[in-house]
């Protein structure tokens, strides 16, 4: 025992984020996997469907959004697993700080290393898939708002399944239905702005989704983690 001050929740939040980022950078494979997956899936479409610029341009938005969704799901699995296996998750659950903030910290750092690189590379792939150049910005901004929602939703599924020995497809079964509205909003936004519609309405819709996910999803993840560790 020593004479010490208890930490504030904000310090614990920052420390948890810093720890997760540090782990991510020490495990470069995990860091690169979703990014490479996104890149590979998106480059396979021209080969599999047609290299004609017109046809590619029509499907580009959907291809990029679906690839981003799959990459996000691929990345989710290691969000809590290592912590579950080495006991760090128990320590997190036993901290006196609200679990909401601890889960949020883990979600944010996870998105920074798995979601953000996908968003950043998306204009390059959009160019490769011949997406009309006036849609680059819409695609970029919808992915920027949409991928954190996918991460936050995926976190619930991972939290529910982290205690199961063999997860298989169950994570996809839980997460995909929740992700579909985001996919629809994102791809429609790109299509519609191409037809001259205003972007503001779609951004407001996705922004609302993001806010709802930020406030509610970590609560659900926290409850799911307590059940999984039980």
Partner 1 sequence: MSSNAELQHSHQPLLSARGLFCERDDRVLFENLNFQLQAGQVMQVRGSNGSGKTTLMRILCGLNDSYDGEIFWQGEPVQQQIAEYRASLLYIGHRVGVNKVLTPMENLRWSCSLQTQASDQAILQALAEVELMGFEESACYTLSAGQQQRVSLARLLLSPAALWVLDEPFTTLDAHGVSNLEELLESHANAGGSALVTTHHILNVADLQVLSLG
Measure the CA–CA gap between 173 and 144, rounded to whole angstroms.
24
* E strand or H helix at 218: helix 200-229
Provide, rounded to whole angstroms, the least separation between the CB of residue 93 and partner 1.
6
Measure the CA–CA gap between 142 and 156, rounded to whole angstroms.
22
Indicate which single residue of 15, 170, 173, 204 sits in contact with partner 1 (rule: CB under 8 A): 15
Indicate which single residue of 31, 93, 178, 203 sits in contact with partner 1 (rule: CB under 8 A): 93
- 129-166 burial, b at 16+ Cβ within 10 Å, e below that, comes to bbbeeebbebbbbbbbbbbbbbbbbbbbbbbbbbbeee
The yes or no reply on residue 27 touching partner 1 (CB under 8 A) is: yes
Indicate which single residue of 78, 83, 129, 152 sits in contact with partner 1 (rule: CB under 8 A): 83
Helix axes 53-76, 116-128, angle to 10 degrees: 160
Segment near partner 1 (CB under 8 A); pick from 5-13, 113-121, 187-195, 214-222 = 5-13
The yes or no reply on residue 67 touching partner 1 (CB under 8 A) is: no
**Coil vs helix vs strand at 162:** coil
Indicate which single residue of 51, 86, 180, 208 sits in contact with partner 1 (rule: CB under 8 A): 86
Segment near partner 1 (CB under 8 A); pick from 17-25, 68-76, 160-168, 216-224 = 17-25
Indicate which single residue of 47, 48, 54, 94 sits in contact with partner 1 (rule: CB under 8 A): 94
Indicate which single residue of 88, 167, 205, 214 sits in contact with partner 1 (rule: CB under 8 A): 88
Indicate which single residue of 55, 85, 120, 133 sits in contact with partner 1 (rule: CB under 8 A): 85
The yes or no reply on residue 54 touching partner 1 (CB under 8 A) is: no
Say how many residues make up the chain.
230
Number of neighbours of residue 215 by Cβ within 10 angstroms: 12
Torsion of CA 181, 187, 190, 192, to 10 degrees: -70
What residue ranges bind partner 1 (CB under 8 A)? 1-7, 11-12, 15-16, 18-19, 22-23, 26-27, 82-83, 85-88, 90-97, 102, 229-230
């Amino acid at each position: 025992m020593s004479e010490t001050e208890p930490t504030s929740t904000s310090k614990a939040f920052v420390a948890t984020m810093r720890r997760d980022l540090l782990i991510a950078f020490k495990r470069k494979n995990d860091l690169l996997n979703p990014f490479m997956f996104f890149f590979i899936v998106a480059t396979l479409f021209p080969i599999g469907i047609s290299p004609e610029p017109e046809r590619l341009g029509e499907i580009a938005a959907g291809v990029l959004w679906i690839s981003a969704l799959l990459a996000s799901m691929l990345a989710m699995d290691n969000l809590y697993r290592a912590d579950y296996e080495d006991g760090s998750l128990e320590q997190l659950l036993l901290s006196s700080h609200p679990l909401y903030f601890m889960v949020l910290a883990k979600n944010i750092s996870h998105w920074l290393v798995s979601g953000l690189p996908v968003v950043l590379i998306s204009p390059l792939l959009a160019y490769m898939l011949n997406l009309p150049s006036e849609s680059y910005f819409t695609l970029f901004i919808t992915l920027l708002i949409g991928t954190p929602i996918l991460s936050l939703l995926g976190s619930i599924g991972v939290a529910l399944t982290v205690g199961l020995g063999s997860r298989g497809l169950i994570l996809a079964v839980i997460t995909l239905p929740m992700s579909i509205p985001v996919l629809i909003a994102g791809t429609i936004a790109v299509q519609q702005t191409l037809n001259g519609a205003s972007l503001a309405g779609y951004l407001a819709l996705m922004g609302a989704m993001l806010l709802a996910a930020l406030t509610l999803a970590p609560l659900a993840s926290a409850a799911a983690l307590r059940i999984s560790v039980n």
